[in-house]
Structure 1
């Protein structure tokens, strides 16, 4: 038989008998194999069962080669995704299985690294840059330049903005609403570099809309939960707006906590807003004893924050910087949601009722020397911590986060 080429060959693969696809799918032992198999086409997806697996650790984007490396903590396997579309882009977080990308022209888009799906977002502009960085910028020959000074007749510009600095002038991170709600319509909210304002859009809009959160300090991050976008500032104060009526924010009282708190992370926990708070003991300040810190977890009940001391066999997956992929995920209790699932068994060295950080929240190291990447597990029952090696190295300035593939 003559070889099958081009489109005919693609049709041949997509039309394999479902019985054969099911046999192959049942033999997939690695979550990367499962992700790649399911991302081929709709017929392959329909033949694969909806199994559960933990989120993947996502390492920084290499904009030169268009490569992102993922690590699966369930079986200590790594996998690289290289796509031309990822070249010359900077990563502005990831949400709902989509990477948020921006180029030097401040053009923005969503990209699924496993299926290749692309969705445009509104581009950054001078108004957004002014709200984000407090600086005026202008486009010259395809590059954004910072305006140093201006008067009635002259504008003085400095250097063009580098790709690596685009997030500092435009959008820092984007979070999507769930596509399950609102008839499939999706919304996006973005944190800015140094502002108590956020940017909002409906997918398909051609401009970002600026909203004032009325928080007292810069917005640290935003998250989506049960029809609302929530924003938290550097002091842990929270405000929210309804996704269907994003006109103004409402302040949410801060939980009554004592001590020195330096980091606040919001995440959706079974339709309830949760906050992970890092507490630094006063005696830790000024020394290098990094053991004297702990975490508190709160859940928002109506208008009151309630301290959470147990989440059963479930796990909170938290990113050190990005908030869009901090998430609540069921463990061996069998909890499932419509996106990321947990593959049978537990992570190596893991048990339920814990927080799992993609990398330690606190560490002391020389920024010029690469260090090994460790996951940090914090037991909510007794506060004990475990650090588990991934076998990977990173630079001090790079950001590592969790990623849950969207294979719908």
Structure 2
């Protein structure tokens, strides 16, 4: 058996190679925290990396406002000590789902993972909240982006500056996605797609002044995600296409979906591509003006879901009648899949979704609905995090 070598004694020329193989910011932070030589070998923010929020073209070319792309990250926070579990019947492998967003001042906002409401009120003071990362494991699950603009309000000071800076989300925007989006992404490589509520799709590279219409602004798209390093969209017939970013041409990837639901959602789970077909009790009617503000917006209620998995080998849709111990979540900024064996608060074979700003749960087995009422959510999250310290 060879001689055992301490991690801190690895050859220095290997450290940058190891560091640049890490994809997420959390992994880079972990790597840099080993010792001083590891920390100095790998920068926290590489040169020319995008720093959120960053300026992007406003959806309306006639608008005088600047819009910004803000990033949110979903993490699974898992205790390493089984005694920190919420109940004795809970698995020590389970953790909590948290969502974090970085503000324009560099501060971090803690958001409710599904509704994206900022967690403000709590019996505990967030300023005193501390985490001991030696007692927990943080795993990055996915990233999401939102488009907003910042403005200042309040009385002006002698220096001519407003006292309070706040922001507002750009109405009419359904989703924003960016790729690549790793710890080593260069800003010059970033491509951004903006999907509007009326189904139109716009594209921009980092630094562009205007959005370029995709497919001549044809209003037909329901959702867009990054799947296997490529942008994929689904239209309202359930046809999935991937986008060639150099030409903005759409290449059909799937046959039409046989489902007749009123809204389609794309979800990746276990390396496979799914479409959640949402059935509504009425027709969606959305019209945007020249500033991409919602003029007419009819919001019918959700009455059911069907789940389809794309069999890429045979090029056909397979209807899934059970998700097993998996659950799908449809937030207003991203869709994702979770394993209920790894997270508290989620049940298998369920779809968690927003409807009229409220969270509902759809049981795929018996087709039932339940509104998710979680009183004291703020305190529960802060209690859980604080007990990891």
**TM-score normalised to the size of structure 1?**
0.46
**TM-score normalised to the size of structure 2?**
0.48
